[in-house]
Amino acid sequence: MEKRINVTRSLLPPFEEYIEEIRPMWESHWLTNMGEKHQKLERELSKYFQVPNVSLMSNGHMALELSLQALGLKPGGQVITTPFTFASTTHAIVRNNLEPVFCDISPADFTMDTAKLEELVTDKTVAILPVHVYGNICNVEEISRIAAKYGLKVIYDAAHAFGETYRGVGIGNFGDASMFSFHATKVFHTIEGGAVCYGDADFGLKLYRLKNFGIRNEEVVDGVGANAKMNEFQAAMGLCNLRHVEKEIEKRRQVAEYYRERLHGVDGLRLNLRQEGVTSNYAYFPIIVEKEKFGVSRDEVCQKLREHGVYARKYFYPLTNGFACYKGRFDAGMTPIAWKISQQVLTLPLYGELGEPELSQICSIILGLKK
């Protein structure tokens, strides 16, 4: 049995570094409730992201759910989004008593196809929630234009886009808010965690209260909030990981380049495109397996890799509008490009420490299947 290779491996700082970071808590006994580490990480991330404000959350999902709530959208309003994403994006809309309307994706970069966006706007539309899938940046100019034309709010699911810039601008600056995930499987993590980047101070205040039960002050609770506070141990992990993330991204770049070199130009295998003007964080390495040309299907490639202990992921499959919990409510057939890509996509293992012998083995297994 060969060593198991997962799709990712969580980055960890040197053990001693983390211990030093949490040591002061044994003096202060301050473990959560927006303590020193929480505040420091917010400051450091707003510098790193080049954004005016960052609000830390217990996880990315709560960051998204509470951002939608803080915008005060009309209940029952429609939110245009895409189904080629993680469960969180669609669930956050539904759990806010809003109605997702699914726009198809671009086959080139898997983000919202803005040529199909405007026709979905109705008098019930209140917001657009696009996803920077795999760190591929959405057509932010066109989304802003359409949002301005119809007076819609825009929240980006930027869970995959940590630290990226578009034409020199931090990606968290687009739209009314952008949500980032700092889950353990992400390029940068705080074990569990997330953040919202935003510009408007009123929105920030609402968000701050909503992540702490809607408490305004000791005697007044005037919001129906949740508990989404990032605790001090999480923030300490973030402070440590932030010191190492640049190095990790550079190592990931080298892994991605290795894949590109070995897998490009193979009939029936399509690699993620490089987007002009975007500094990539190399979060994922998706490949599209076109059975008609490659000779075997995505599922067969995935299965063969598993037989060798390589756990690539069918990410994203199934589409969120095909989930069992939404049966009878949405129809995955309405987004045919997303449906097709979800049948063909496979995300290959990618993390800084993935060595050349493993990479070579993964590529050889895939190329050996070509018919």
Ligand X SMILES: Cc1ncc(COP(=O)(O)O)c(C=O)c1O
Positions touching ligand X (CB under 6 A) are 59-61, 85-86, 88-89, 131, 157, 159-160, 181, 183, 194
In the complex with ligand X, the residue whose CB is nearer, 130 or 361, is 130
What is the C-alpha to C-alpha distance for residues 82 and 113, in angstroms, rounded to an integer? 9
Quote the radius of gyration of the chain (alpha carbons, Å). Answer: 21
Of 60 and 204, nearer to ligand X (C-beta) is 60
**Minimal CA–CA distance to 176: which of 72, 280, 58, 62?**
72
Phi/psi of residue 175, nearest 5 degrees: 75, -175
Minimum distance from residue 242 beta carbon to ligand X (Å): 17
Given a contact cutoff of 8 angstroms between Cβ atoms, the answer to whether 301 and 366 are in contact is yes
Residues 6+ apart with CB under 8 A from 230: 38, 41, 56, 57, 58, 190, 193, 194
CB nearer to ligand X: pick between 263 and 348: 348
Q: What are phi and psi of 240, to 5 degrees?
A: -70, -50
**Nearest approach, Cβ of residue 156 and ligand X (Å):** 10
81 vs 361 by CB, closer to ligand X? 81
Which of 159, 187 has the CB closer to ligand X? Answer: 159
Residue number, 106 or 361, with CB nearest to ligand X: 106
Report which secondary-structure segment, H or E, holds 28. helix 25-28
CB of 363 to ligand X, least distance (A): 25
Preceding omega of 318 cis (within 30 degrees of 0): yes
182, two tokens: 């700092």
- What is residue 291's three-state secondary structure? helix
SS3 249: helix
* CB closer to ligand X out of 157 and 361: 157
The single-letter DSSP state of residue 105 is B
CB of 60 to ligand X, least distance (A): 3
Least Å distance, CB 194 to ligand X, is 5
| CA distances (Å), origin 300, targets 5, 83, 303, 312 | 18, 24, 5, 12
Q: Which residue, judged by CB position, is nearest to ligand X in the bound state?
A: 60
Q: Return all residues near 174 (Cβ < 8 A) that are at least 6 apart.
A: 140, 143, 144, 154, 156, 166
Element (H, E) at 41: helix 36-49
What span, in angstroms and rounded, lies between the C-alpha atoms of 276 and 256? 17
Q: Please report how close the Cβ of residue 59 comes to ligand X at its closest, in angstroms.
A: 4
Closest distance between ligand X and the C-beta of residue 203, in Å? 19
Q: Please, which residues have CB within 8 angstroms of residue 277's CB and are 6 or more apart in sequence?
A: 166, 167
Smallest distance, ligand X to C-beta of residue 340, A: 19
Least distance in angstroms from the C-beta of 92 to ligand X: 8
- Nearest CB to ligand X, comparing residues 133 and 263: 133
CB 105 within 8 A of CB 335: yes
When the beta carbons of 181 and 361 are compared against ligand X, the nearer one is 181
- CB nearer to ligand X: pick between 176 and 192: 192
